[in-house]
């Protein structure tokens, strides 16, 4: 007689097979949960990197270098709407060449594109007519994309654009909550980075002339001296002083004197390379740092600046014309002194240029003197 509690062999085999399927399904779910946990962990690490980014350059480096790796994407771009040209000015201040960052797109003109009305992420296949503006030809052309509008204070500030070579990576109808959250973090970090750089620039800028202040010049000179020592390159310094500036203030007033300072700073800046550093050192004195410039070329640069300032009168905002001349002292980092600490070399460079400037004043002004000691 069969035991009623023991299932027939056919039922046992079926139960065993079903149990194996359930175990396999459970293993798949466990693996998927583990993979999801790893993805969340990587995304969490990415968010921490974004939040910790100290400045604009570091932030875009995280977006363009870390994000594609962590998120397994072939291309990531960032389009920033810059109607007031503040970001463009920031790039200039940071000496960033846009050519070095093809993934960073800055648009200061009005963006006449239907994407400006996008409120939620757009996901799906790449469409050339719609998405070319977001993915330059120099980058890999994605097959599927996610275009995420970045908003701050109810205002569109740009787009974060994710591209994949996999057609099923971004598909119409897929959930976008996660990438929206990611984009909200980037929007906040982008605004914070721009504001941070703007405040830093203000703190290191002379409020009257708009060029760097003494604090920045000394900081930057230490950096340039350290680079010159590390790479064995040349470095020169110009100390520039406006001749008879006190007479201008006494005769024409301080308002005209301020206009002269601004005009002189502008003419000096017009003779410099993007890699050169111009700063107001105090009063009517300016300092120029010339990386990778030897003494003979520094003297030529000084003469070019002296001529640019003195060759034609300066017209002030009040309509007053002033004929201005400058005296310039030049110093260069000598090979024999390279064994000294960078801080000492900075002091020496400035002291030598200042000494040469004093000699120029003593010899009649309106000339360039090189300190060879």
Helix (H, G, I), strand (E, B) or coil at 144: strand
What is the rounded CA–CA span in Å between residue 373 and residue 369?
A: 12
Give domain status of residue 16, yes or no: no
Q: pLDDT at position 34, please? A: 62
The answer to whether residue 229 is domain-embedded is yes
Given 179, 202, 225, the domain boundary residue is 202
Distance CA(316)–CA(258), nearest Å, equals 9
Task: Tell how strand 285-291 and strand 314-315 pair up.
Answer: unpaired
| CATH number where 121 lies | 3.30.450.40
CA distance 55 to 193: 5
Q: What is the CATH number of the domain that holds 277?
A: 3.30.70.270
Q: Tell me, yes or no, whether 233 lies in a domain.
A: yes
Please name every residue paired with 321 in a beta bridge, in sequence order, or none if there are none.
Answer: 315
Same domain, 193 and 236: no
Same-domain check for residues 180 and 285: no
- pTM, whole model, 2 decimals? 0.69
Q: Which domain holds residue 360?
A: 214-370
Rounded to 10 degrees, the C-alpha dihedral 257/258/260/263 comes to 180
Tell me if 254 is assigned to some domain. yes
- Are 44 and 190 within one domain? yes
Cα–Cα distance, 191 to 203 (Å, whole number):
18
Of 180, 202, 224, the residue at which a domain comes to its end is 202
Residues 6+ away with beta carbon under 8 Å from 314: 259, 260, 263, 264, 267, 321, 322, 323, 324
How far apart are alpha carbons 175 and 129 in whole angstroms? Answer: 24
CA 88 to chain CA mean position, Å: 10
Look at residue 35 in the predicted model and tell me its pLDDT. Answer: 56
Per-residue model confidence as pLDDT tens for the chain (373 residues): 455 666 666 667 777 777 777 777 777 766 766 655 665 677 788 888 888 888 888 999 999 999 898 888 999 999 999 888 888 888 877 777 888 899 999 988 777 778 888 889 999 999 999 999 999 988 999 999 999 999 998 899 999 999 999 999 999 888 888 889 888 999 999 999 888 888 888 888 999 999 999 999 999 999 999 999 999 999 999 999 999 999 999 998 999 999 999 999 999 999 999 889 999 998 999 999 999 999 999 999 999 999 999 998 988 887 888 899 999 999 999 877 778 899 999 999 999 999 999 999 999 999 999 986 5
Q: Do 185 and 288 belong to one domain?
A: no
Same domain, yes or no: 221 and 151: no
What does the pLDDT read at residue 92? 78
- Verify that 265 and 342 share a domain, yes or no: yes
Instruction: Work out how many domains the chain is built from and give that number.
Output: 2
156 and 249 share one domain: no
Query: What's the pLDDT score for residue 196?
Result: 87
């Amino acid at each position: 007689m069969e035991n009623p509690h023991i299932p027939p062999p056919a039922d046992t085999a079926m139960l065993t097979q079903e149990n194996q399927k359930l175990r396999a399904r459970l293993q798949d779910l466990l693996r998927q949960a583990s993979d999801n946990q790893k993805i969340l962990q990587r995304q969490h690490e990415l968010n921490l990197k974004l939040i910790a980014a100290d400045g604009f350059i570091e932030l875009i480096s995280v977006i363009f270098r870390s994000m594609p790796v962590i998120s397994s994407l072939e291309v990531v771009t960032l389009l920033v709407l810059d109607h007031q040209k503040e970001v463009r000015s920031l790039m200039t201040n940071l000496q960033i060449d846009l050519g070095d960052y093809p993934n960073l797109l800055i648009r200061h003109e009005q963006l006449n594109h239907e994407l400006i009305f996008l409120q939620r992420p757009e996901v799906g296949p790449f469409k050339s007519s719609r998405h070319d503006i977001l993915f330059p030809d120099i980058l890999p052309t994605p097959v599927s994309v996610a275009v995420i509008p970045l908003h701050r204070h109810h205002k569109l500030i740009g787009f974060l654009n994710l591209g994949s070579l996999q057609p099923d990576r971004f598909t119409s109808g897929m959930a976008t909550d996660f990438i929206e959250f990611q984009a909200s973090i980037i929007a906040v970090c982008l605004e914070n980075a721009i504001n941070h750089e703007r405040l830093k620039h203000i703190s290191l800028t002379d409020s009257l002339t708009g060029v760097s202040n003494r604090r920045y010049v000394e900081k930057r000179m230490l950096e340039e001296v350290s680079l010159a020592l590390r790479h064995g390159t040349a470095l020169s310094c110009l100390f520039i002083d406006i001749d008879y500036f006190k007479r201008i203030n006494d005769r024409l007033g301080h308002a005209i004197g301020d206009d002269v300072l601004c005009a002189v700073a502008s003419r000096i800046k017009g003779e410099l390379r993007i890699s050169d550093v111009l700063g107001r050192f105090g009063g009517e004195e300016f300092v120029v740092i010339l990386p990778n410039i030897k003494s003979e070329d520094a003297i030529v640069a000084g003469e070019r600046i002296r001529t640019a300032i003195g060759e034609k009168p300066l017209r002030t905002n009040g309509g007053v014309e002033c004929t201005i001349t400058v005296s310039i002292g030049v110093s260069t980092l000598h090979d024999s002194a390279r064994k000294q600490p960078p801080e000492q070399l900075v002091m020496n460079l400035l002291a030598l240029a200042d000494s040469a400037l004093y000699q120029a004043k003593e010899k009649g002004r309106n000339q360039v003197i090189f300190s060879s000691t």
